[in-house]
Each structure stands twice: as structure tokens, then as C-alpha cells.
Structure 1
């Protein structure tokens, strides 16, 4: 971990003043999704799949539910929209952004 930080320090020193953060609109789900796939493709931020415990937390006997929904955000000040479904409910994997596609 310390070695990775050494690679980030020069970037922060050079570009730190240029980096800014601002919140995006929340996904259209009250619980949120853990382990979602995410990436940018075709100019949109895509978030797909993931899991949560919609009925109760796991320490209270809640059951994990997996999701297959795909959401897209076209502009930082826009609204999330449904953009299809994964072939099956899935999460906690790897995603790769390539032109016009997010590979999960």
C-alpha cells in the first residue's frame, strides 16, 4: 500500500490544484448497491448489477439480494435512467471501459 502511495504523490503535487470533486445524483434505489460494475462508455457513466440487503442487515438475518439492472448518467447534473439489464444478477467483479461499451 505504501508503495502505491508513492506513485500518487507526484501526481497530486502536479495536478492537485486542478482536481475537484462534486457529488453526483444518487442512484434511484434507497438502499444503494455494493459491488456494482461501473465505468464510462459513450460519454455516460454506467453502473450495473451489485447486491444489497433490502429487508434487514445481515446481522439481523437479512438475505443478500443480487441485481441485474443497468443505470446510465449522461451528464453530471442529469438524472439516472434505466439502460437495460445484465444477462443475470451479478456483482463484485471486474469492469473495463472501452469505446461504446462497458465489459463486465
Structure 2
């Protein structure tokens, strides 16, 4: 149906790695002012990619952690929002 392979050769992996290099600008966002400027730019874009990272939780009944990093990227720019530094609700340390 989707044509997924069960195994990928080392050669195929190397080809993917060569294609997956981001050649744009990377912007670490660690203040509210930088976040506001980044969002103004991102709101003007038609296509963006999104990713987030957080500390994993292990064990039954474990408490879920909050996102530590949110990445929003365009073809030319990647913005790394460090939520532990700028706050999650617009207030530092929230």
C-alpha cells in the first residue's frame, strides 16, 4: 500500500543523511522579544515544519514532562524555542 521497506541498506541510509542536511539559518529563541520576532516571520510563511522535544518519563504512572524545546522551521530558517528559558505561557519560568 505505502511501499515501506522492511530493511534499508547502509548505502541508502548514507544517501538519506546527505539529503537531510539543513543549510538554512538556525535561530535559538531564548527571550520573549526573540520569540515575538520569530512568530512575526513564521506567520508570513505558507509552509512550516514542527517538532518538539521533552524529557522522557519512564515507569507506570509517571508524570509527563512539559516540552523543553519547540522547533518551527521553514525552508530557509529554523527557530528553536527554548521554553525552559522563555516560559511556556509568556512568563519566564512558568
TM-score normalised by the chain length of structure 2: 0.26
By percentage of residues, which structure has more strand? Answer: 1
**Which of 1 and 2 has greater Rg?**
2
By percentage of residues, which structure has more helix? Answer: 2
TM-score normalised by the chain length of structure 1: 0.25
